[in-house]
Amino acid sequence: MKKMSNIYESAANTLGIFNSPCLTKVELRVACKGISDRDALSKPDPCVILKMQSHGQWFEVDRTEVIRTCINPVFSKLFTVDFYFEEVQRLRFEVHDISSNHNGLKEADFLGGMECTLGQIVSQRKLSKSLLKHGNTAGKSSITVIAEELSGNDDYVELSFSARKLDDKDFFSKSDPFLEIFRMNDDATQQLVHRTEVVMNNLNPAWKTFKVSVNSLCSGDQDRRLKCIVWDWDSNGKHDFIGEFSSTFKEMRGAMEGRQVQWECINPKYKAKKKNYKNSGIVILNQCKIHKMHSFLDYIMGGCQIQFTVAIDFTASNGDPRNSCSLHYIHPYQPNEYLKALVAVGEICQDYDSDKMFPAFGFGARIPPEYKVSHDFAINFNEDNPECAGIQGVVEAYQSCLPKLQLYGPTNIAPIIQKVAKSASEETNTKEASQYFILLILTDGVITDMADTREAIVHASHLPMSVIIVGVGNADFSDMQMLDGDDGILRSPKGEPVLRDIVQFVPFRNFKHASPAALAKSVLAEVPNQVVDYYNGKGIKPKCMAEYESSRTLAP
């Protein structure tokens, strides 16, 4: 138990870096009004794209579904974003008309945009602004964004609905039903939670299973009223009302463990007019599964160890280490950039590793005794045990190996990613959250084996590992940004996309005059979410939760 509480304390101390700024997730819902189309004869097929600004560049975060022929769309899809209190996070909402035969933006017409900060939306809870097109207002069109904090409860629920014997609303074919679920708010307004897809020409539809957060469904209140409406879809956007019913999350939970819950779908007009009216069909909830979302701290406290590996670039472009201009120059009083980056990131990672032994590798040098080029050699020259004792051990191994190497090339990082991936893939056999691997790559230049590296990263995205690349020196690192999937989805040369974004790239020069903590925070900010995404995605719970829960109550 002693070891557990030590890890608890050190984690709690350094978690300040992860927790204090963020860990508030915010759900944004979007609706538009009065969108005018370029073609007056037809209504647009709108879709809203959310972009975020990073280092002066806008990049796409996510997009809503496309709603066909609609000038006042209320979108069902939510945007979930991390809210950092101490940062100005600039957002841009762009409304595009997506033509049905093409889902890309090439064919799309830009209908207007709105820029604001996340802080503005969060502080006002509901922000409505005119849409602007090339600096001018786009007719009378406006956009409304509503923010809700995901307060503590990140659990989500999986629901699977079907219906039978729905009223037929179409003359020549059967109805085309879809289902909408609304949450009734305390102020008597209603909020769209989910809209299913349309099932064409079918009075007994089975809609696709969908996931929604418990927070979004009922604001964490199981008895909150939910209003459900079944519509018959019409291509002109004027959908016909079939019927409605109301429920609660508590009632829906009845559809767990193989049971079903059913409701009569009622059209109040028919009920009032027709004597022998029974219903307009039956809606069935076939399954309700609740998925518990565990936090980064849950996994760490449950005994998940962070296995930290370092890889250092020893290519000739760093310059001769004996020369004071070299990036590898060992100054008697001043650590070089490699050492600064290593210590800043390593000191935080070591708090999450009980044995404090770190494998450290080099790449791009000719190594003794035969002076052949290697892209994954142990810097302590002990291939059977490349581990160094603590970050101090890595620093000493680095300093003592430098004079023995011939700096060479090229800059290949795929071999070292593959090496760590091999250990991570052995870990997956345990089927538990015991070890998560972080590879820190320190490099001075653009990598030479980009195709192999992309392939290696796509493979590694299926494993319990993350890759952090710190660019040292003043090279042009624009190619490296591509590996950091923030700006779009990284794909292997064969076109396979990464399963999760596991690469974080940071140029050291951005932090030259900042504190080591600022570099560490920037580099490690995404790691907690990457750990959680991996294990939650695989349905792996934290290990000894019971032990952790008991230590949690004892902890100050």
Task: Note the pLDDT tens digit of each residue in 249-290.
Answer: 999 999 987 899 999 999 999 999 998 999 999 999 999 998
Which residues are CB-contacts of 14 (< 8 A; sequence separation ≥ 6)?
A: 348, 351, 352
Q: Which of 76-85, 293-302, 411-420 has the lowest mean pLDDT?
A: 293-302
Beta bridge partners, 97, equal 46, 109
Between residues 231 and 83, the one the model is more confident about: 231
Q: Would the pLDDT of 121 be above 80?
A: yes
Q: Which of 26-30, 424-428, 449-453, 529-533 is least confident?
A: 529-533
Angle between helices 516-524 and 337-349 (to 10 degrees): 60
Do residues 119 and 208 both lie within one domain? no
8 Å CB contact between 377 and 416: no
* Same structural domain, 198 and 257: yes
Q: Per-residue pLDDT tens for 197-218?
A: 999 999 999 999 999 988 889 9
d(CA 189, CA 533): 33
Domain with 397, as residue range(s), is 296-409+426-431+446-487+505-538
Residue 300: is its pLDDT beyond 50? yes
Rounded-to-10 torsion of CA 490, 495, 499, 504: -20
Q: Is the pLDDT of residue 21 over 50?
A: no
Residue recorded with tokens 């927070």: 215
Name the percent of the chain lying above pLDDT 90: 51
Predicted confidence at residue 449, as pLDDT, reads: 92
Same domain, 172 and 26: no
337 and 190 in one domain? no
- Mean model confidence pLDDT for the chain: 85
- Is the per-residue pLDDT at 485 higher than 70? no
Task: Determine the pLDDT at residue 258.
Answer: 81
Any domain includes 544: no
Count the residues in the chain. Answer: 556
pLDDT surpassing 70 at residue 80: yes
pLDDT of residue 410: 94
Query: For position 52, which CATH number holds?
Result: 2.60.40.150
Q: Are residues 260 and 303 in the same domain?
A: no
Domain boundary among 122, 150, 178: 150
- Pair 526, 403 in one domain: yes
Beta bridge partners of 401: none
Got the DSSP string for 201-242? T-SS-BPPPEEEEHHHHHTT-TTSEEEEEEEE--TTS-PEEE
Q: Is residue 90 part of a domain?
A: yes
Residues 271 and 172 in one domain: yes
Q: Which residue has the tokens 């080591």?
A: 516
Structural domain contains residue 548: no
pLDDT for 464 equals: 96
For residues 36 and 141, membership in a common domain is answered with: yes
| Confidence band for 475, pLDDT divided at 50, 70 and 90 | confident
Q: Tokens 């998560």, residue? A: 436
- Choosing from 133, 150, 167, the residue where a domain stops is 150
The per-residue pLDDT for 9 is 43
Query: Residue 247 has which token pair?
Result: 């429920």
pLDDT recorded at residue 53: 86
491 pLDDT tier (thresholds 50, 70, 90): confident
Domain boundary among 90, 124, 150: 150
Token duo for residue 466: 């993350």
Q: Are 109 and 199 contained in the same domain? A: no
15 has a pLDDT exceeding 80: no
pLDDT digit string (tens) for 398-446? 999 999 999 999 999 999 999 999 999 999 988 898 999 999 999 998 8
228 touches 264 (CB < 8 A) = no
Number of domains in the chain: 3
Q: Are residues 522 and 404 in the same domain?
A: yes
First CA to last CA distance, the chain: 15
Identify the pLDDT of residue 487.
Answer: 52
Q: Is the pLDDT of residue 162 over 60?
A: yes
For 458, which DSSP code? H
pLDDT score for 152: 58
Question: Does residue 282 belong to any structural domain of this protein?
Answer: yes
Q: Flag whether 275 is in a domain.
A: yes
Measuring CA to CA, which residue among 399, 485, 409 is closest to residue 444?
409
What's the average model confidence in pLDDT over 372-398?
95
* Percent of all residues in the chain with a pLDDT value above 70, rounded to a whole number: 88
Cα(21)–Cα(486) distance, rounded to whole angstroms? 20
| Spatial separation of the C-alpha atoms in residues 380 and 393, rounded to whole Å | 10
pLDDT of residue 102: 54
Q: Is residue 546 part of a domain?
A: no
Asked if residue 366 belongs to a domain, the reply is yes
What burial class does residue 339 get, using C-beta atoms within 10 Å of its C-beta: 0-12 exposed, 13-18 middle, 19+ buried? buried
Residues 139 and 208 in one domain: no
What integer is the mean pLDDT of 64-79? 93
Question: What confidence score (pLDDT) does residue 25 get?
Answer: 78
| Sign of the torsion formed by the C-alpha atoms of 239, 244, 249 and 254 | negative
Residue 143 inside a domain? The answer is yes
Taking the C-alpha atoms of residue 452 and residue 410, their distance in angstroms, rounded to an integer, is: 13
- Residue 336 has phi, psi (to 5 degrees) of -75, 175
* pLDDT on residue 226: 97
Same domain, residue pair 47 and 111: yes
Q: Which long-range contacts (CB under 8 A, 24 or more apart) does 398-404 make?
A: 398/312, 398/338, 398/339, 398/342, 398/360, 399/330, 401/362, 402/321, 402/328, 402/330, 403/321, 404/367, 404/368
- The pLDDT tens digits of the residues spanning 311-349 come to 999 999 999 999 999 999 998 888 898 998 898 888 878
pLDDT at 424: 96
Summarize pLDDT for 225-260 with one digit per residue, the tens: 999 999 999 988 899 999 999 999 999 999 987 899
